[in-house]
Amino acid sequence: MKEILIATKNKGKIKEFSDLFAEKGIKVSSLLDFPGIEDVEETGSTFIENAKIKAETISKQFNKIVVADDSGLCVDALQGRPGVFSARYAGETKNDEANLEKVLMEMEGVPFEKRTARFHCVLAVAIPNEETRIYEGTCEGHITEKPEGENGFGYDPIFYILDREQTMAQLSSEEKNKISHRAKAMKKLSENWKILF
Ligand SMILES: O=P(O)(O)OP(=O)(O)OP(=O)(O)OC[C@H]1O[C@@H](n2cnc3c(O)ncnc32)[C@H](O)[C@@H]1O
Ligand SMILES: [Mg+2]
């Protein structure tokens, strides 16, 4: 079976990529399968820079094709924050619940029509001795006033999808994988599938 290495230790992402690649008959491995590999420092100032840094660093270590995902939540009323700081918005420990509580606190008193936000996903495909490829996807929504739903990860419980009348965390994983920023970026990558193998 074909296999692709994703440069992440985020369990939520790994689950989604496993499902999305399984549709193509491809198995996913991740940095959780290689406990000796250290986290790559995200020193870039954009999603694209950070996705490239993660994919290229791990690709060099393994000398093979590697996919990395840099993603996050951009809230209009917060001038695009948390943005590239999404994973560590409430501190270095990467606590999903503390992060979303911080966003809710900062959004207190903001009326519904001004609570617009989007999830952004950048996939970088690093190929030894070739230029890194970039694929992007976004998903539009509104920030809720309190968390709802148990599925997904990260900011999903406070991200309301207008035409579904549900938060991302209330959707099943199959439904999220049809509309999410990650699924949209994956679709673009899958149109260029042949670069992977
Ligand atoms: O860098 P890696 O190792 O892949 O894992 P990470 O968790 O640090 O990932 P990012 O640097 O890309 O930060 C993305 C953060 O944005 C949030 N996020 C990304 N995609 C999301 C999604 O589909 N649903 C909810 N939150 C998401 C979540 O809090 C992530 O921790
Ligand atoms: Mg990260």
Tens of pLDDT, residues 51-91? 999 999 999 999 999 999 999 999 999 999 999 999 999 99
Q: Is the dihedral of CA 108, 113, 74, 65 positive or negative?
A: positive
Annotated binding residue at 176?
Answer: yes
Contacts of 95 (CB under 8 A, 6+ apart): none
Q: What is the pLDDT of residue 197?
A: 86
For the chain, counts of helices (H) and of strands (E): 5, 7
| 154 CB within 6 A, ligand 1 | yes
Q: Which domains does the chain have, with CATH numbers?
A: 2-195 (3.90.950.10)
pTM more than 0.95:
yes
| 177 CB within 6 A, ligand 1 | no
Question: 87 C-alpha vs ligand 1 centroid, how far in Å?
Answer: 5
Annotated binding residue at 85?
Answer: no
pLDDT for residue 193 is more than 90: no
Among the bound ligands, name the one nearest to the CA of residue 96.
1
